[in-house]
Amino acid sequence: MLVAASELMIERSSIEISLSDIAQKSGANAALVKYHFGNKDGLLLALLARDAATEMSNLEYLLAQPITATAKLKLHIAGIIRAYHRFPYMNRLIHYLLHESEAGSADEVSKFFVAPLLDFHRRLLAEGVSRGEFRQTDPVLFYTSLIGACDHLFFGRHAMSRATGVGPVTEEVCRQYIKHMETLICGGILTQAGEAAAAG
């Protein structure tokens, strides 16, 4: 059922799907979908939890790698952008569950997505500072900058396509954006030692 919901949202470029759409796509009946998830918000929350779980487990793995903090930062930037590209409905789902659904859903999203990501940023930035690679950087502002930029690439793309004829987010656009965000973020927080680590 989660696979069906994911596929439908990708096909339609929208999170506006009904339980009956999901039931029809998955071959299950709507009552079964309701039984497992309670309602549509329950299903959307389960889908986001599934998609976020892999990304969150990758964060711990990345922190443990015997590489420079700068290399970890670049891999993280690329990983976040690729996650948004792989699940193009993710940003709209997060916005919906945080702001438009019941309070319990917002609390859950904060618990399994926002809090772990913010904690990862705190630890990565602290590691970079202690190694002399990063300047002191506020983790909340860093989170806002990186996640906001990734979010807007996909969320704002629709508005830009109407206003200026900008095309969809392709694999090539993704690669260009990763490079752009690396330059932007690293240019802002790397010390000379960090720049040397990035160059080497």
Residue 141's pLDDT band, with cuts at 50, 70 and 90, is very high
Interacting residues of 122 by C-beta distance below 8 A, sequence separation 6+:
139
What mean pLDDT comes out for the span 84-113? 82
> What CATH fold (topology level) applies to the domain 51-199?
Tetracycline Repressor; domain 2 (1.10.357)
Q: How many CB atoms lie within 10 A of CB 132?
A: 13
Q: Given this model, what pLDDT does residue 162 score?
A: 57
Would you kindly state where each structural domain of the chain is located, as residue ranges? 1-38, 51-199
Residue 158's pLDDT band, with cuts at 50, 70 and 90, is low
Tens digit of each residue's pLDDT (9 = 90 or more) over 37-72: 888 888 888 888 888 887 788 898 999 999 999 999
pTM, two decimals, is 0.81
- 154 pLDDT more than 90: no
In the beta sheet, which residues pair with residue 190?
A: 134
What mean pLDDT comes out for the span 86-114? 82
Most confident of 110-124, 145-159, 183-197: 110-124
Cα–Cα dist 61/54, whole Å: 11
CA distances from 90 to 24, 139, 145, 152 (A): 22, 22, 17, 12
- 197 pLDDT more than 80: no
SS3 content of the chain, % helix, strand, coil (to 5): 80, 0, 20
